[in-house]
Structure 1
């Protein structure tokens, strides 16, 4: 019996909830059609807009803070691996090894402490701040439903009040055949029954209205006080959160700076002991032309094309069979004859030729005497100012031609797009330091013949995609 009673209560509750949903849906339809007025509260609606904005901003801040923490953790791992690498290459007999290991340990602890404090003082505070929003959001939605119930009860009660006058008119004089045919004493009872029934319905509607109004107003009052307070709290929360992050980051970098200075002191000490083996940093390409990789891309078939030897901004190759210290060949553009100078020989008196001057300076030093002569600049194995440089149908500084053996798709704005069979006129780099191994500078022969412009049509390309042609 108890089980049957429980099922009955459950079924009754389900039916009641279904009836409420139907009544609310009907009321909303009537309101949208303009057949029923809707209770409006502009001040509360503004509070709801502020609430939604505050929730959106807080959710974004939480997401970005988690991303920041993930980045800190990634930096920690990268720093840890870098220090492990230093410990591996730091040989046992080098001075400062123990100090370097201790610095690495402190570095790791500092990263861990920084990450944990960010979690405790920022992320957990952020989670607590956002934890109050779901409950308030649910209460706002429930208030909306109770407002519809209130409007529906109000409209029902108002409709009964309007019908009351009609009922009173009916009670004043019988209109039905039954009422007309009934005796006088019976008509009085019928009138009394109608009055009682009307009053009952009106009283029930009034009770429902009062109940719905009370539930709505209780929720409405609480939210009217809570939402503005929550909105105003955002300022203090943002200030505290970002102050905590800024303070933690400031202290972290101060401590990290001390560790870096200590590591620098250890390395300076190591450098002093092994100062004779200083590593020289080579010049880097200028910022105007981005450097390519040390290796040019491989051709599609995997077999590199013939690659002539590239000599960038170096002295010309000595003639076949020449040995170091022997007299170098003269430049075609040098009019004066250079004198051969034997090691330790004295120059002749009087006016000296350029070669003799160089020889005399070389003789006065402890190094072997070498004749110094002027040579034309050599770029990529070809002497500038050669036969091609003076021809009007070739670009200035032209060195040689190559033909593309494979298609090459340019990956940067300073590269040439090549199709198999394209002929390229190779020219020197404006700044030899910008040339990378395996790359040449040139202009496609078709572009040069048509436009005669280098600035717009020249570019770099991988040498192993081409083959030199006569």
Structure 2
């Protein structure tokens, strides 16, 4: 059984090699103009439309994935922003519970929007493009079967054209044998040659009929399927963008409501802050008490600054200090002495009061009803080099490694230069040796399992359709 299996495999390989050789010869003859080629302009137009549709769909899929990545990034940025608001919103401020609820709803709304985009747009897009690789391989196979049909047709026509020449070639040896062979032998020889020639023509005719049947079956199916696929693009584009537009409309409507609620909470906070007086926990210093003591107008006529302004500025103005007895707090050394009279004494006492207020402020004592502002500075360590963010060349990856992708669907290779993929396979993407050889929507790579096992790039690499995979790294 093993020997029989090897024989069948060897015979199949030999048959495939013979087919490739025959096709190559036929293509050379067609390019040289020595053999005519079957043309179908209507089908060629369908193929052009198919390639255009595939290119547009691949671009739409790529842009849609970029859009989803942007939505996810906006979700993360919005989440960070609401978390910042929750951290700075102090517990005693009104509306704290409302801000927490708004933050939760904001996160749920972004998550729901992203998931619905994936379900109603991206998955539909993947299903739509999933049919193109199979049709593309069938178009390529139809081309090969067309070459086989042309080759069989030319072979049969050549036998038909050379029919008379073959009869002449048969007659010559018979005439020579007439002199050396008896009459009964000559008839048998002629009949044998004629039968052999007819057998060759019959075999050629059978091959032609078989090749024509295979070609026409594939051609008829594609002639019906390609125009239908081309016309379906309008409905697909309409449904896709309608879904995206509807999801965006609902998302922004709900997000607008949350933003309005947040605005109302902040307006309430602003009003409460403007009309409320928050208690001061720290005891006021002597200098602050002096500032709150009513004073008489100064001799030079400068207007009196209100007590509220003094509290905000944290510094008393000499012009507002009362020069009358009891208006200026006295130091311990002056408790048993009479207060100095005149403008000179008032100036000295005002300067002393200002210096005391500055000393209290520098020492960190709470002398005002306003909260102190603490500014923190952070230092960054610089390594001396600017990192570009691109990963360095990894020794365990193939030369020129670009990124990893994972197969989302099974893909059956139709040529020897293609990769056979199963859902879940991880592929290491590498560049083409010649960028001009890269077709739209196809990537070059090697399956990670094959690379880790063999480390032989030339024997393991191949091309595969990009829309059957999803980038993972």
Per-residue deviation at 1:162?
Answer: 1.0
Equivalent residue of 2:119, what SS?
Answer: helix
Structure 1 CA distance for aligned equivalents of residues 175 and 87 of structure 2: 110
Corresponding residue of 1:74: 73
- Is the Cα contact below 8 Å between 2:113 and 2:247 reproduced in 1? yes
Summarize the alignment of residues 323-338 of structure 1 with structure 2, pairs less than 5 Å apart: none
Distance change >3 Å, CA 159–CA 180, structure 1 → 2: farther
Q: Deviations over 1:36-84 (max 9, x none)?
A: 0000000000000000000000000000000000000000000000000
Structure 1 CA distance for aligned equivalents of residues 169 and 267 of structure 2: 111
Q: List gaps (5 residues or longer) in structure 1.
A: 278-341, 346-365, 367-470
Distance change >3 Å, CA 8–CA 276, structure 1 → 2: same
Structure 2 CA distance for aligned equivalents of residues 16 and 173 of structure 1: 36
Per-residue deviation at 1:188?
Answer: 1.2
Per-residue deviation at 1:187?
Answer: 1.7
Structure 2 CA distance for aligned equivalents of residues 263 and 180 of structure 1: 118
Corresponding residue of 2:164: 165
- Is the Cα contact below 8 Å between 1:171 and 1:194 reproduced in 2? yes
Corresponding residue of 1:241: 240
Structure 2 CA distance for aligned equivalents of residues 210 and 154 of structure 1: 9
Distance change >3 Å, CA 87–CA 176, structure 1 → 2: farther
Structure 1 CA distance for aligned equivalents of residues 187 and 172 of structure 2: 11
**Structure 1 or 2: larger helix share?**
2
Structure 2 CA distance for aligned equivalents of residues 180 and 38 of structure 1: 48
Corresponding residue of 2:452: none
Structure 2 CA distance for aligned equivalents of residues 59 and 181 of structure 1: 77
Distance change >3 Å, CA 45–CA 114, structure 1 → 2: same
Summarize the alignment of residues 58-69 of structure 1 with structure 2, pairs less than 5 Å apart: 58-69=57-68
Structure 1 CA distance for aligned equivalents of residues 58 and 31 of structure 2: 33
Structure 2 CA distance for aligned equivalents of residues 56 and 218 of structure 1: 27
1:343 corresponds to which of 285, 300, 303: 300
Q: Deviations over 1:125-166 (max 9, x none)?
A: 000000000100010000000000000000000011111111
Structure 2 CA distance for aligned equivalents of residues 61 and 213 of structure 1: 39
Distance change >3 Å, CA 124–CA 32, structure 1 → 2: same
| Aligned pairs, number | 285
Distance change >3 Å, CA 96–CA 30, structure 1 → 2: same
Q: Deviations over 1:286-313 (max 9, x none)?
A: xxxxxxxxxxxxxxxxxxxxxxxxxxxx
Equivalent residue of 1:35, what SS?
Answer: coil
- Is the Cα contact below 8 Å between 1:24 and 1:152 reproduced in 2? yes
1:14 aligns with 2:13: yes
Summarize the alignment of residues 276-315 of structure 1 with structure 2, pairs less than 5 Å apart: none
Equivalent residue of 1:128, what SS?
Answer: helix
Q: List gaps (5 residues or longer) in structure 2.
A: 277-298, 303-319, 321-473
Distance change >3 Å, CA 343–CA 12, structure 1 → 2: same
- Is the Cα contact below 8 Å between 2:174 and 2:190 reproduced in 1? no
Per-residue deviation at 1:169?
Answer: 2.8
Displaced runs of 4 or more, over 6 A: none
Corresponding residue of 2:187: 188
Per-residue deviation at 1:210?
Answer: 0.1
Distance change >3 Å, CA 179–CA 65, structure 1 → 2: farther
Q: Deviations over 1:170-214 (max 9, x none)?
A: 345546744653332222111101100000000000000000000
Corresponding residue of 1:260: 259
- Is the Cα contact below 8 Å between 1:80 and 1:108 reproduced in 2? yes
Structure 1 CA distance for aligned equivalents of residues 18 and 162 of structure 2: 24
Q: TM-score, normalised by structure 2?
A: 0.58
Per-residue deviation at 1:4?
Answer: 1.1
Structure 2 CA distance for aligned equivalents of residues 180 and 111 of structure 1: 103
- Is the Cα contact below 8 Å between 1:174 and 1:180 reproduced in 2? no
- Is the Cα contact below 8 Å between 2:156 and 2:204 reproduced in 1? yes
Corresponding residue of 1:153: 152
Structure 1 CA distance for aligned equivalents of residues 91 and 143 of structure 2: 75
Equivalent residue of 2:162, what SS?
Answer: helix
